[in-house]
């Protein structure tokens, strides 16, 4: 129940990738037969993925994952403009926040918009914050910790109105919910969140966007991202998207029902609450707060019972600092520490939900009995 951290590679994806490790091992830049074979696979994947997003194949740039796509979006635009103002939110993934911080250290001005108690960015705040020198707005499609789905259509419209580029980190939403690409100029995605392999992602860059590469070399990906393409990974990414497209609507409904059942059962525990919005959240995401306990202890006891869960994002789960997302929605540090994220995926079923809900109840009771905070 930690599918927001990563997902298993689907058997069909593995099967599609397999030949590209051995018999079809060519470098897509080579002119000979093996190179052409790899290039054909690469371009087929690019065409397929572009069609899925409703964009042009030449607007898809493959990267090593979501982190690199986010870095390329922010640093690439910043580099093309040389100076200016960037707007993002306080609840972005660290791939955005740490990149923005780095840009601040290199002379750019960054505004980190606050969010409300559900984690929503207010589009009006975006509009009020846009300045003459604003070069980019970057707001995630859905938050990886609390699952809140941001109003990116409205934000995109505002950016378009002011002629400011709009980037969205859609790492948690591609293949899970529809992506409204209409007013988006740049979009990050990563294969391993949708039953594809780790280490492959993409940045969609709308034709005409002023951006410079941040990685230089042999000129792959039309000069935007040098480095021999991960052909097997990219073929797997396309297959993962094909599977997601086929099952998306049905799976979103199924996961939402399981999620709601889990939320209903878990909130029967006293002094507990749901983080994020009750309905405008990712289909598989349930994120709870419990008074008087430590999330880490909860995770370890659940792990002993065979349940893989998380306190927040996988990247920050080894740090003892309260999550920046939970503090941004207004939780006190002690409230943020008692949190639990369960993210459901294709192999979870009703039986798992029942088992998890019972287990959480047992473990919370057990921990509260020994809690020094509970009188």
Q: Which is nearer to ligand PLP, 301 or 309 (CB)?
A: 309
Q: How far is the CB of 198 from ligand PLP (least distance, A)?
A: 7
Q: Which is nearer to ligand PLP, 65 or 289 (CB)?
A: 65
Is residue 323 near ligand PLP by the rule CB under 6 A?
no
Q: Which is nearer to ligand PLP, 17 or 95 (CB)?
A: 95
In the region spanning residues 9 to 28, those forming contacts with ligand PLP, defined by CB under 6 A, are none
Return the residue of 17, 28, 53, 66 that touches ligand PLP, per CB under 6 A: 66
Closest of 102, 134, 105 to residue 113, by C-alpha: 134
Is residue 93 near ligand PLP by the rule CB under 6 A?
yes
User: Segment near ligand PLP (CB under 6 A), from 33-41, 61-69, 256-264, 286-294?
Assistant: 61-69
Report the length, in residues, of the chain: 375
Q: Which is nearer to ligand PLP, 277 or 291 (CB)?
A: 277
In the region spanning residues 150 to 209, those forming contacts with ligand PLP, defined by CB under 6 A, are 169, 171-172, 190, 192, 201
User: Segment near ligand PLP (CB under 6 A), from 65-73, 79-87, 101-109, 130-138?
Assistant: 65-73
Q: How far is the CB of 268 from ligand PLP (least distance, A)?
A: 29
Question: Is 315 among the residues known to form the active site?
Answer: yes
Q: Which is nearer to ligand PLP, 144 or 272 (CB)?
A: 144
Q: How far is the CB of 142 from ligand PLP (least distance, A)?
A: 8
Q: Which is nearer to ligand PLP, 144 or 183 (CB)?
A: 144
User: Segment near ligand PLP (CB under 6 A), from 62-70, 105-113, 124-132, 208-216?
Assistant: 62-70
Return the residue of 2, 16, 60, 67 that touches ligand PLP, per CB under 6 A: 67
Q: How far is the CB of 150 from ligand PLP (least distance, A)?
A: 11
SS3 of the chain: CECCCCCCCCHHHHHHHHHHHCCCCCCCCCCCHHHHHHHHHHHHHHHHHHHHHCCCHHHEEEECCHHHHHHHHHHHHHHHHCCCEEEEECCCCHHHHHHHHHHHHCCCEEEEECCCCCCCCCHHHHHHHCCCCEEEEECCCECCCCCEECCHHHHHHHHHHHCCEEEEECCCCCCCCCCCCCCCCEEEEEHHHCCCCCCCEEEEECCCCCCCCCCCCCCCHHHCCCCCCCHHHHHHHHHHHHHHHHHHHHHHHHHHHHHHHHHHHHCCCCCEEECCCCCCECCCEEEEEECCCCHHHHHHHHHHCCCCCECCCHHHCCCCCCCHHHHHCCCCHHHHHCEEEEECCCCCCHHHHHHHHHHHHHHHHHHHHCCCCCC
In the region spanning residues 224 to 283, those forming contacts with ligand PLP, defined by CB under 6 A, are none
Q: How far is the CB of 93 from ligand PLP (least distance, A)?
A: 4
User: Segment near ligand PLP (CB under 6 A), from 30-38, 59-67, 75-83, 250-258?
Assistant: 59-67
Residue of 218, 315, 334, 354 with catalytic role: 315
CA pair distance 1, 263, nearest whole angstrom: 14
Return the residue of 49, 74, 87, 95 that touches ligand PLP, per CB under 6 A: 95
Q: Which residue do the tokens 């870095």 mark?
A: 71
CA pair distance 346, 340, nearest whole angstrom: 20
**Which positions are catalytic?**
315
């Amino acid at each position: 129940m930690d599918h927001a951290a990563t997902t298993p590679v689907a058997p069909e994806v593995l099967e599609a990738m397999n030949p590209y490790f051995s018999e079809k091992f060519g470098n897509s830049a080579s002119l000979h037969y093996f190179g052409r074979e790899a290039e054909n696979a690469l371009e087929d994947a690019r065409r397929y993925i572009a069609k899925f997003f409703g964009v042009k194949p030449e607007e898809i740039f493959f990267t090593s994952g979501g982190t690199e796509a986010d870095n390329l979006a922010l640093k690439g635009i910043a580099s093309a403009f040389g100076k200016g103002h960037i707007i993002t939110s306080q609840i972005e993934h660290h791939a955005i926040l740490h990149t923005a911080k780095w840009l601040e250290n290199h002379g750019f001005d960054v505004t980190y918009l606050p969010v409300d108690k559900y984690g929503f960015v207010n589009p009006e705040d975006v509009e009020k914050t846009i300045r003459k020198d604003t070069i980019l707005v970057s707001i995630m499609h859905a938050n990886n910790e609390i699952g809140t789905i941001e109003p990116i259509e409205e934000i995109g419209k505002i950016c378009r109105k002011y002629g400011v580029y709009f980037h969205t980190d859609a790492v948690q939403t591609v293949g899970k919910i529809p992506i409204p690409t209409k007013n988006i100029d740049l979009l990050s995605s990563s294969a391993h969140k949708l039953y594809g392999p780790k280490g492959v992602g993409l940045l969609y860059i709308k034709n005409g966007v002023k951006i410079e590469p941040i990685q230089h070399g042999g000129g792959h990906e039309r000069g935007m991202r040098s480095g021999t393409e991960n052909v097997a990974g990219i073929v797997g990414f396309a297959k993962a998207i094909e599977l997601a497209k086929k099952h998306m609507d049905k799976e979103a409904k199924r996961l939402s029902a399981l999620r709601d059942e889990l939320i209903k059962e878990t909130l029967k525990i006293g002094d507990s609450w749901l983080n994020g919005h009750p309905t405008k959240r990712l289909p598989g995401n349930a994120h709870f707060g419990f008074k008087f306990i430590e999330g880490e202890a909860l995770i370890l006891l659940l792990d002993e019972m065979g349940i893989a869960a998380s306190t927040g994002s996988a990247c920050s789960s080894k740090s003892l600092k309260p999550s920046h997302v939970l503090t941004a929605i207004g939780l006190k540090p002690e409230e943020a520490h008692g949190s639990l994220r369960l993210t459901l995926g294709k192999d979870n079923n009703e039986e798992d939900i029942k088992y998890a809900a019972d287990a959480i109840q047992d473990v919370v009771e057990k921990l509260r009995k020994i809690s020094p905070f509970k009188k």
